[in-house]
Amino acid sequence: MLKLISRIFLTLFLLLFLAFISIKWIMDHEIASVTPLSMSTIEVNLNPVVDKNHIFKNLPENNEPQHPFMAKTDRSAMHAGSWESDVHPASAVSSKNIKIISRRAGGSAARQCATFTFIEQGHPLILCGGLTSFRLQLLDKDTLELLAKYDLPMRPSTFESIVKRDTDIIFTDTSGGAYMYLDNEGRAVLADAKQKIRRIKPTQNNKGTWKFVEIDSWDMNKYVPNDCYHWNNLFPKGECDGITTVMPDYNGLLWWVTRNGRVGSLNTETGKVLFTMLNGEEIQNSFAVDKEGAYIVSDYAMYHMKLLDGQPIQQWRFEYDRGSGRKVGSINQGSGTSPSLFGDNYLTFTDNADSNMNIYVARRNSLNGDEERIICKIPVFKTGFSVTDNSMIAYNRSIILENNSGYTNSMIQTNYEDVVGGVVRVDVRKDESGCDKIWTNDLKVPSVVPKLSLGNGIAYFYTFELLKNGDRLWSLVGLDFETGKEIIRIPTGTGEAFNNNWASIAIAPNGNTWIGTRKGVLNIKEY
């Protein structure tokens, strides 16, 4: 009798397992050829609008040095480089003569592609998140044909969201592969959901076929607790942490941070790992790196750390106003920005103050004489409706910031009239006596990672307008760096497939402008 029961249970388990594999294959199966994104409302005007009187101007290059262990700054990371400045040298799209190519990512369950890097051949190497896993994809730069893919493990937050029936859990999780960078040897470097740091390289054989090859990996489970939700662990009792971001220092050591406040290093030559703990603090953003170390923001404070024989050592800590709770438009309580470096010695980030979010500018390195760490603290946007969860554009002495107040995510947002909007530019005074607001614009920007094109002097954002039928028409919008005036508007499509939903804009070295969307990618090019 017991043998019969055992056989029945084994059979049922095998059937369930086969069903799971089949469903996963159907949801994940992705063909190489391009399936364009589908609009929900067809009869709309998609003609670009460009200010014919505007004279486009080149902006001088910023002084960010080339990181020796990363690909060129304009193609190495989500925020354009190790300074997290979101500044690109190329001239992005700026005329009416444009062509938009879209690609649906994923199988029956679409994927959202948030991070763009570009290999030497110009092809985008992107990271796309889906219900079942994150996936590296290499796309043809001209056609968007899928050249190669590499699946990463499913994140615990997916299982947790299913168990708790709360999709917000997924969209507030930045660990397990949400961030990556492209190194100086063309390898994607990231931490996956099983606490492994991986280096994965796209390679091409003599027949022209591409594939991803894992070069090496390091198991971090000894240092990062991993008692997390999974199909075989639906009731975890221990700590579940996740590695949020990996970045190299200027000596080749890898910095890594976790959601629960671990800050560590990995020596890829010896495998040695050292870390410290920010007790009771959470890290949900990426971080910036320069020759002097790493700049990390938690939900309590801004940190500058250095590595001493591999050990993270705090250089300074500044505690900011984290507010009384999480706001609508942010994924946690605390700063929503990755720290951005700019100028000769500046660092900028935001707080989460209840009334008005503040932009901070700080001196990032050693102080001289009677200098103070904080140069300015500037309140921005509408009182009571002021929050952001995207990094700033930081260039020369200028900061450009968007307001995400009122936006949640594409799966639970019901009223887009709640999106407050607003973009502001703030400049550091030349004598460093404070900062001034230079211009504001009422543009509604729910959630995009913006970019500044030095090639034409335009800052690019992603916006929407409500149609009479209640649908949304999404557009790429360019604001003049000097004045904040809208110069170009390129409608891309209607419906949630075209909602960028916290993904980024990327400006390729050839000027093609890429946008990650809820269900795929957009490539906008001039002809």
Q: What pLDDT score does 26 carry?
A: 57
> Tokens 């604001």 identify what position?
479
The dihedral region occupied by 484, where left means phi > 0, alpha psi between -120 and 50, and beta the remainder, is left
Residues 362-366: contacts with CB within 8 Å, 24+ apart?
362/302, 362/318, 364/290, 364/292, 364/295, 364/304, 365/292, 365/304
Query: What is the C-alpha separation between 448 and 287, in angstroms, rounded?
Result: 18
DSSP 417: G
pLDDT for position 133 = 80
Per residue of the chain (527 residues), what is the pLDDT tens digit? 655 555 665 555 455 444 444 445 555 678 899 999 999 999 999 999 999 999 999 999 999 999 999 999 989 999 999 999 999 999 999 999 999 999 999 988 899 999 999 999 999 999 998 877 889 999 999 999 999 999 999 888 877 888 788 877 777 788 777 899 999 999 999 999 999 999 999 999 999 999 999 999 999 999 999 888 887 888 888 999 999 999 999 999 999 999 999 999 999 999 999 999 999 999 999 999 999 999 999 999 999 999 999 999 999 999 999 999 998 888 889 998 999 999 999 999 999 999 999 999 999 988 988 899 999 999 999 999 999 999 899 999 999 999 999 999 988 898 999 999 999 999 999 999 999 999 999 999 999 999 999 999 999 999 999 999 999 999 999 999 999 999 999 999 999 999 999 999 999 999 999 999 999 999 999 99
Q: How far apart are CA 244 and CA 179, in angstroms?
A: 7
Whether 468 and 44 have beta carbons less than 8 Å apart is answered as: no
- Sketch the domain layout of the chain as residue ranges: 41-86+111-526
**Both tokens assigned to 328:** 């609508």
Looking at residue 362, its pLDDT comes to 98
How far, in whole angstroms, is CA 304 from its chain's centroid? 21
pLDDT number for residue 490: 98
pLDDT of 4 reads 59
Q: How far apart are CA 323 and CA 300, in angstroms?
A: 10
Instruction: Give the CA dihedral 40, 42, 44, 47, nearest 10 degrees.
Output: 110
Which CATH architecture group holds 41-86+111-526?
Answer: 7 Propeller (2.130)
H/E element, 455: none
CA end-to-end distance (rounded Å), the chain: 74
Residues in the chain: 527
Residues 6+ apart with CB under 8 A from 280: 261, 300
Pairing status of strand 451-453 against strand 87-88: parallel
pLDDT recorded at residue 9: 53
What phi and psi, each to the nearest 5 degrees, are found at residue 2? -65, -40
Do residues 370 and 339 make contact, with C-beta atoms less than 8 angstroms apart? Answer: no
φ/ψ (deg, to 5) at 170: -65, -50
pLDDT tens digits, residue range 85-126? 999 999 999 999 999 999 999 988 899 999 999 999 999 999
Angle at 150 between CA 28 and CA 163, to 5 degrees: 50
The predicted structure's pLDDT at residue 10: 53
pTM, whole model, 2 decimals?
Answer: 0.93
Q: Is 353 helix (H, G, I), strand (E, B) or coil?
A: coil
pLDDT of residue 17: 44
Residues 329, 341, 517: CA angle, nearest 5 degrees: 40
Per-residue model confidence (pLDDT) at position 22: 47
- Report the percent of the chain where pLDDT is more than 70: 95
382 and 364 in contact (C-beta within 8 Å)? Answer: no
User: What are the tens digits of pLDDT across the range 268-279?
Assistant: 999 999 999 999
Instruction: Write the burial class of residue 294 (CB in 10 Å: 0-12 exposed, 13-18 middle, 19+ buried).
Output: buried
Helices (H), 90-131: none
3-state secondary structure of 161: helix
How do 196-204 and 188-191 pair as beta strands? antiparallel
* Predicted confidence (pLDDT) per residue in 351-392, tens digit: 999 999 999 999 998 898 889 999 999 999 999 999 999 989
In b/e form, how buried is each residue of 159-173, taking b as 16+ CB within 10 angstroms?
bbbbeeeebebbbbb
Summarize pLDDT for 187-220 with one digit per residue, the tens: 999 999 999 999 999 999 999 999 999 999 999 9
How far is the C-alpha of 401 from the C-alpha of 424, rounded, in Å?
A: 5
**What's the CA gap between 379 and 424, in Å, rounded?**
11
- H/E stretch holding 337 reads none
What is the predicted pLDDT for the residue at 155?
83
The maximal CA–CA distance of the chain, rounded, in angstroms, is 87
